């Protein structure tokens, strides 16, 4: 967390967040040159040079995930892999700058704006880079978008429509106007004392929590059926047991305990898992006064006495709110904790809210996650939760 430099927040009270606007994507792409081959690397580099920040970073994570899964571009039937991109309004700052240029001199807007500005360009450009021809589209559901994309990818595979799915959460290219709009509704951190101490400002579960911080972030997961993964002998990070979604029937950013409960319970019903089998919750926990409490109340209601046996943490305390990508970014964090048998802390808790009386991880802790619940609750009353199990090879 730091003061934003890639966007001008001189007129906005909240001046801090997770700014990756100066990220050198071209240099990072060069790391994949040998794996891609010279011709393909040049073609993808050309795509990089003309596309948007959000598409560029999303494509980097998709390439990284694809290669990490020991896949080569052109592997298998391209029609059997879907490309699902989490989010909407992904190019918001790009469009904001286009409008400024249009108002100054219309002839000088980006010549490719009609293609690059729209969300569908991002799944399109990832599909082009990976040479995939299966279903390809974006799914918008605010901060639940990443889990909604995971849900569609899971369904593609379970239905047999696809063998594999690229589930990508690109960064939300947030604009000054977006942050100002969230300032007006008191959703982000505007307290003056934190503008000079940005690393302390994101404080889920703390009694002094006062909002979230917008943050750039991206992640991609490769989903596939188990036989396909075993055939290649690749590392399996976890097994998706189910993803469930629902809504509050309320378009305002007001979390609802009962509707969050319902989604969790439906997830357990669909997957055949008992709540007592879960031992870790990767919380949505944005750091808003109401949102954090609503989530904890829902967890307590669903898990009952077993809630005391859960370990929980809040990734946004360190990452800020990576918005539409956050369920995928935080799932990657959860899977890595699962892999290495260590939980990351929830930082910036000086005084834990007394109603949040569960086992919140405050320091790094050795712990083996067996079954992870990942919560995501978006503006517009959109709720989506996933269950991911540690993979154990059959003996």
Active site residues: 143, 284, 321
Give the 3-state secondary structure of 245-270. EEECCCCCCCCCHHHHHHHHHHHHHH
**Neighbouring residues of 192: CB distance < 8 A, sequence distance ≥ 6:** none
State how far the Cα of 206 lies from the Cα of 261, in Å rounded to an integer: 23
Query: What's the half-sphere exposure (Cβ side, CA atoms, 13 Å) at 293?
Result: 13
- H helices of 198-350, in order, are 226-232, 257-271, 289-303, 316-319, 326-340
Q: What is the largest CA-CA distance in the chain?
A: 68
Sign of the CA dihedral running 284, 253, 18, 25: positive
| Cα distance between the two ends of the chain | 45
Q: Which backbone phi and psi does 377 adopt, to 5 degrees?
A: -135, 110
State how far the Cα of 9 lies from the Cα of 167, in Å rounded to an integer: 32
Token pair listed for 321 = 């709110």
The answer to whether 117 and 91 are in contact (CB under 8 A) is: yes
**Neighbouring residues of 174: CB distance < 8 A, sequence distance ≥ 6:** 7, 17, 92, 93, 214, 216, 323
Token pair listed for 181 = 């709009």
């Amino acid at each position: 967390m730091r003061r934003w430099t890639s966007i001008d927040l001189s007129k906005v009270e909240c001046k801090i967040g997770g700014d990756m606007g100066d990220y050198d994507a071209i240099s990072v792409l060069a790391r994949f040159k040998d794996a891609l081959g010279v011709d393909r690397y040049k073609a993808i580099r050309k795509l990089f040079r003309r596309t948007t920040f959000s598409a560029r970073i999303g494509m980097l994570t998709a390439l990284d995930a694809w290669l990490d899964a020991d896949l080569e571009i052109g592997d298998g039937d391209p029609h059997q892999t879907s490309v699902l991109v989490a989010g909407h309004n992904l190019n918001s700052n790009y469009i904001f700058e286009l409008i400024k240029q249009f108002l100054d001199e219309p002839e000088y807007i980006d010549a490719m704006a009609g293609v690059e500005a729209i969300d569908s360009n991002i799944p399109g450009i990832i599909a082009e880079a990976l040479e995939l021809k299966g279903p390809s589209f974006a799914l918008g559901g605010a901060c639940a978008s990443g889990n909604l994309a995971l849900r569609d990818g899971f369904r593609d595979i379970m239905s047999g429509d696809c063998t594999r799915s690229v589930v990508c959460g690109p960064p939300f290219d947030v604009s000054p106007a977006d942050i100002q709009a969230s300032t007006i509704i008191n959703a982000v951190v505007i307290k003056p004392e934190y503008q000079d101490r940005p690393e302390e400002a994101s404080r889920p579960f703390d009694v002094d929590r006062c909002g979230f911080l917008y943050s750039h972030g991206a992640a991609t997961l490769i989903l596939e059926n188990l036989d396909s993964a075993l055939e290649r002998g690749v590392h399996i990070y976890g097994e998706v047991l189910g993803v469930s979604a629902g809504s509050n029937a309320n378009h305002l950013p007001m979390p609802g305990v009962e509707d969050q409960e319902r989604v969790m319970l439906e997830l357990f019903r669909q997957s055949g898992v008992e709540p007592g089998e879960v031992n870790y919750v990767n919380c949505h926990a944005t750091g808003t006064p109401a949102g954090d409490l609503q989530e904890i109340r829902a967890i307590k209601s669903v898990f009952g006495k077993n809630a005391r046996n859960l370990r929980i943490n809040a990734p946004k305390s360190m990452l800020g709110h990576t918005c539409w990508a956050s369920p995928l970014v935080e799932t990657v964090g959860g899977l890595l904790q699962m892999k290495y048998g260590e939980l990351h802390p929830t930082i910036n808790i000086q005084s834990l809210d007394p109603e949040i009386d569960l086992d919140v991880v405050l320091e790094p802790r050795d712990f083996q996650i067996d079954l992870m619940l990942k919560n995501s609750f978006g503006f517009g009353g959109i709720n989506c939760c996933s269950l991911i199990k540690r993979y154990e090879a059959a003996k």
